[in-house]
Amino acid sequence: MNWVILDMMGVIFEVADDVNDLLVPYIQGRDSSLSSKRIGELYTKASLGRISSYDLWSQLGFESEYPDIEKDYLDRCLKLDPDFVNIARCLKESYSLAVLSNDVKEWSSYIRSKFGLNELFKVVDGHA
């Protein structure tokens, strides 16, 4: 069977640049003193598995709000492409589907579970 390999952002979810278009405005809406550079650096560390999502929020100054702030961000900001699930189900009839994405491990696990995405994919890899 042939494979179709997908990225999370801009394919499964509507926004392609989740850091600059979603995460930075969300965080700066809570603390405008945090620079987009600092937010991006910490996100990169988390997406590479060098720090946990807890460490990301803590180093941004939101330790006392964790895990509620993380759930709020993921629930309010990440929007599934409205056509994706139907398209993926059609593709799954003829292809094996996989996700290859550099994202925060804990976030990926939560959103795959929330949207029922695990049933669509044979492989989900954030460490390749």
Sheet strand arrangement including 123-125: 3-6, 96-100, 123-125
CB 70 within 8 A of CB 107: yes
Residues in the chain: 128
- On the question of pLDDT at 126 being above 70, the answer is no
- Write the pLDDT tens digit of every residue in 85-94: 999 999 999 9
Question: pTM (2 decimals)?
Answer: 0.90
Structure tokens at 122: 């044979």
Per-residue pLDDT at 99: 86
Instruction: Name the token pair of 48.
Output: 């590479």
pLDDT in tens, 95-105: 999 888 888 99
Task: Report the alpha-carbon distance of residue 35 to residue 46 in Å, rounded.
Answer: 17
